[in-house]
Every structure is written in structure tokens, then in C-alpha cells.
Chains A and B, each alone.
Chain A
Amino acid sequence: MDVFSDADNLDVYVTGFLWILKLTLVGTLGAVVIGTLLAAFRVSPIPVLRGFGAAWVNIFRNTPLTLIVFFCYFGLYSTLGVVFSDDLELNNFWLGVVGLAVYTAAFVCEAIRSGINTVPPGQAEAARAIGMTFRQTLTMIVLPQAGRAVIAPLGSILIALCKNATIIGTIGLMESSNAMKELINSNGQAVFQIFFVFAGTFAVVLIPTGYGFGWLANKMAVKR
């Protein structure tokens, strides 16, 4: 009666978590790149860039990810005809990645900006005093120090991203939550077993990851 000894069921489980893994990896890359750029925009001397960064953060941070993913599918894909891949499943994957990255980038931006705030102003003033430009000050003095302070909040943002990847199931990707739903519907006698295997997988991976980021943040912290 063991649900997961059935090869088909095991396959559903593995495929589900492989999608989560791929979404997390690609989504993280996108979110960190866009988020860092947005943070740089928000502290730059150019008002248009600052406004753009602020608008992005305020719009996407306050909109539910479900709505963003919904919009990516029905708006970008169905209505506006934005197509990433001919393979339907792969196309849904990329639409999901866009939604995840755009949403999470707003949080990454705010985390980096508050990381910048932990750097004493004297550092930037000293950099300016020896004639560094804004870009030099930011990339050579401020961001490397801010990066260490940002590890802990960034860690929780990335863990949230991994959990949020389940929401991409809304647009028909067979990721873990859809996989669990399917297994529950065909194996009503073992709902608890199925739930604890799926939830347990997340817990076993994410709880140590959280502590790992905490440890790393501590180790890398700038002692002031």
C-alpha cells in the first residue's frame, strides 16, 4: 500500500521537485541580477532612475505573486502573444520564471538598499574624498561591505522564492503542489503519508538552508 513504492507515483514526485529546483535556480539568478540593478538605480544621482526603481518596488512588492503569474500567462502569453518556447510546458516554465524574478527582484532591491544603510557614511565620504565617482564608490566600497550584511535577509528571500515556486503550478506546470494534489486525489487512503513526504521534503531542505544562511551571515559579518 505504500504510495511511493509505485514507480509512476515516484516519478510524479521527482518531476514535481525537479521543476521547483529549476524554477528556484533560474528565478534566483534573475531576481538577484534585476534586484541589484534596481538597488543601484534607487541610490543613483539620476532622478529618473530613482523613480523607476521606486515604482518597480512599490508596484510588484504590493501585488500578490498569484496575480503576477496569472497576468504572465493570460496577459503576456494568451492576449499579447509573448512566446518563449514552442514546447507548452517549457513556455509555462519561462512565464513562471519571469513572474518569480520580477516579483522577487523588488524584495532583493529593498534588502540590498537596507544593506547599503549598514555601511557607515564615513566609508562613502572617504571614497569621495579621494576622488572616486559614484560608480566606483558603489561597486568598490559600498556594495562589497553591504553584500555581507545582506546575506541573512537575502537568504530568507531566496527561501521564500523556493516556496513561491509552487505558485507556478497555477499556470499548469506539474510542480510539487500539483503533484501532491494529483497523488492525493488518486490515493485518498494515504493523504497524511503523501502530505508529510511532500512537506517533509521542503522542510528537510529549507530548514538547514535557513540555518546555513544564518551561520554564513554571522561568519561574514563585518565586525564594527
Chain B
Amino acid sequence: MRNAIPTLNKWAALAVLIILVFIPLSLVLLRSVTPDGAFEGFAAFSILFEEQYRTILFNSLLLGLGVVVGASVLAAPLAFFMARTELRKHRWIDIVLIIPFMTPPYIGAMGWILSMQPNGYAQQVAPFLSAITPYFFTYFGMVLVMSLHLFPFIYLIMRNTLENIGGRMEEAGVIHGGNFFYRMKRIIIPLFFSGYSMGALLVFVKTIGEFGTPVTLGNRIGFYVLTSEIHRYTSVWPLDFGTAAILSTMLLSVSMTIWYIQQWLVSRRHDKVVSGKGQTKAFTPLGKYQFLAWFYLFGVLGLAIGVPYFSVISTAFLEVQGDGLAWSNLTTAHMVQLFTGSGLEALLNSVWLAAIAATISAAIGIWVAIIIMRKKGIGEKTMDFLSLAPNTVPGIVVVVGLILFWNAPWNPGMIYNTWMMLVATYVVLYLPFTVQNIKAIYGQLGDSLFNAAKMSGAKPVYILRTVLIPLILPGILAGWIMTFTISMRELVGSLILRPPNMHTSATFIYSQFEQGTAALGMAMALVSVGFTTIVLIVVERFKNRSQAYRQ
């Protein structure tokens, strides 16, 4: 009897995930084996053995690996500086570092292309750069652009983990005579691993599931990956949903394998670092070498924000694109046009849609993450994977699944072709972010606080409210921010699922690039990212206050 409520709770959460994630994805897979409504066996999967598709799979893996390395290398020093040195006072850096992640990937890639192409902005500003710009149009350029886009993600997870490791263990290391490198090797890196591996996993999966950069830059240089091929089969005549579904299965299995390996690695050691005992923050003053940290920071910011945004701003404010950079060629006409035309409405649509989606997905995220972390049964494992699955396949696959499910004549939900469909899409697509963010923080909580609460006679709900939620609040807020941020710029789902007569900021930008003026699109990108930054600052303030107990 005592177990009835938790069990019910668990099955309810599982049911929600099955409806939101499992059924839509299964419908896509079903479609791949029943292209004309009849089961045709698994013969269709034989294309996986064809040379062409093996190359594509290999390209995807190569790209994912490159970006994990690239993003980690970019993020690690920053995480260290921000968690452990004088730089941590400057919280604004955190917000600035998220800007690359808020930038729509295709805008980032486009910005880089506009800079690096022949006669591009780079050559206009510094002609000597023409010797190196061609190297951008290779595999390394893609890794660079995607790493610069995704590193904030791994940075946030790294920094949170480093902060939580706290000073005690390190101090113990110092007392026992461990030098800096020894402490790194024996204390920080092992403790760091569980959080980092989750970040690396998400970046890998995000990379192989991302389609903006592969489609803008990859197709241009002939570097085809799974997502760009899936995109091609779902949006270029002759359409072939069957092949797209098979390639999606391929992506899904890669992600599943990686997820399993990560789980296995982490489960071998689970290190509790938040025990409820007094925390001291570790501090490694850099002293006069501080300038090196600043130098590095600005170097990264220059690449991640400076280069693409220089292009974005230039394009948005140039009157005649063909005349290049010149003071006389500047105009604010595109900005005015944006706010007087249909652009403003599109932007506002994005804002409220993203806010609703982020709130719903944070709520589901708390619910699911708590259940997953409590026990490790088969039900929890299933939920864990389901809550990650949408992130492992390209948006377009999820979107097709959502249409197949929500628009099916037997589906009683009336949300298809309304704005609620967009909210549902964002929730499904970005649930992994909230769940994983909360899990990353939860994973570090020890049992002692909960045991103490139980000893003092607290009821489960009371523990949840006064112990657990406050402790994981930073994770919840981080998840909310992330969901809001990427919902604001979500393209694939919005493009296909938006109800008639409705635009969002991303679809507005896209349609400007496809059929309108690039300048207007860039102006929208600029305003949209600016607005997201403001929201971010507000939530970050709130988050800092919620963490005040740590000081």
C-alpha cells in the first residue's frame, strides 16, 4: 500500500514519455518497413551496407568525435577559470558565453561563410587572410563552427561540476602533500568525469543530430552526413521517407550505443560530492597570470561571437550587399522594416511559445529526473533513454513522427495545426536538456541530507519541497534557460509544424534566406538573440539568488 503512490507516479511518467516520445518515433520506424502501408520486411535496411551510406555514417561519427574534442578543448580552460579563479566574480562572462549557443546554428555557419568566402568580410577587412580562408571550407571548418556553437553547453556542465566538487576534497589533497597535477589527476578529474561524460555525450549526440551546419556548410564542401541526407530525403523531390526513416534508425542506434557506454562508465563509479556538510569553494588564484586567462577568454569569444556576429551585423546594416563594407553603405532600413512588417509578430510568437514550452518541459523534467535518479530498475532505464531519445535523432525525424502521430485520424488530441503543436514539439525536442541538466546536479547529491531529513521525521513531500527542489533548482533553471533559448530559435519543427498564417522568428529568418532578403533575416537574428540574452540575464540573476545558501 505504501508503494502504491510511487509506483503509480512512475507509470504515469512512463506513459507521458511513451505518448510524447516513443509512439511518434515508432511510427517513423514503422513507416520505414511499411512504405506503402504493407509490411515489406527488413530488406530495405540492406542499403545500410552500401558504400555510399557507410561513408555517410563514417562522416557523421568523425564529425561528432571532432566536435566533442573541439568543444571540450575550448570549454575546459574556461570552466576552470570560471569555477576556480578570480574570473568567477565576473558572472556576466557566463551570459556572454551562452550567446554562441543561442545563435541559430545555420546563422553561425552562414556568418562564418560570409566572412571566409572569397571576397568575404575577412578579406575586405584584412586582405592577408586570403591565404588561410580556403582552409575553412574543409572538415576542420565544420568542426570549428560546430564546436564554437556547442562548447557553451559542455562548459556549463563542466563549470557546475567543478563548483560542486568544492574545496574540501582538494584541501584534503593539499594537506596530504599532493601537488597541483597530482590533485588534478586523483581528485578533480575522477570526480569531474560523471558530469563531463554526460556533457560529452550530449554534444556528440547533438552534433550528429544537428542539421544547420551540415546543410549550409557541409553540402557546400561535399561533406555529407546522416542528417543532411535525411534532410534531403524529406525535403527535396523525389521525397523518400522510407530511406529517411532507415537513416534515422541508423542515427538512433549510434546514439543509443553511445548512451549505453556512457551509462556503463558512470555506473561503475558514482561520486557523491554534495553531502550537506559545510562547503568551501576551491580557489586557485592566478595572480599576475590572470591576464592569460582573460586573453584566452577573449580569444574564444572573438571566434565564437566576434566572427559570426560581425557578418550578421554587417549584413543587417548594409544597404547594398554587393558594395561591401563602407560607412556610406550603412542603413537602418532593414531594422525599421523588421519592426513595421510581419517580423515583430513572428518574434513575439517565438517568445511566448518558447516560454510556455520551457515551463512545461521543466515541470516534466523535474518529475522524470527524480524518478530516474531514485531507482535503477528497467522502467527507470527506459525512461532515461526515452527522455534522451529526441536529442539523438535529427529534429526532422521527430517532426515527421509527431505529424504521423498527432495528425492520425485515430488521435483524439486536437492540437495538430494549432500553436499547441509547436509547444508540444519544443517540449519533445528539448526535454532531454531539462532532464539531463537536473540529473547532472542530482547525481552529485549524497544521501546524507535525505537521511537527515527522514530522521527528523519529514514526509516525502516535505523533503521534496525543502531539500531536493532547492538543491536541484540551479539545474531546473539551467534547463529552463536552455529550453527557452533553443525553442526561440528552433527551425525544423517550426518550419513544418507551424499552423498556417503563423511565423516564428526562426522560420522568418529562414524564409528570408530562401526567398527574401538576407539583410532582413540577419536583422531578425540579431534582435532575436538580443532579446534572448536579456531573458537570460534576468533568469541568471534569479538563479544566483537561489544559490545564495552556498556562500
A associates with B: no
Which residue numbers of B lie inside 8 Å of A, CB to CB? Answer: none
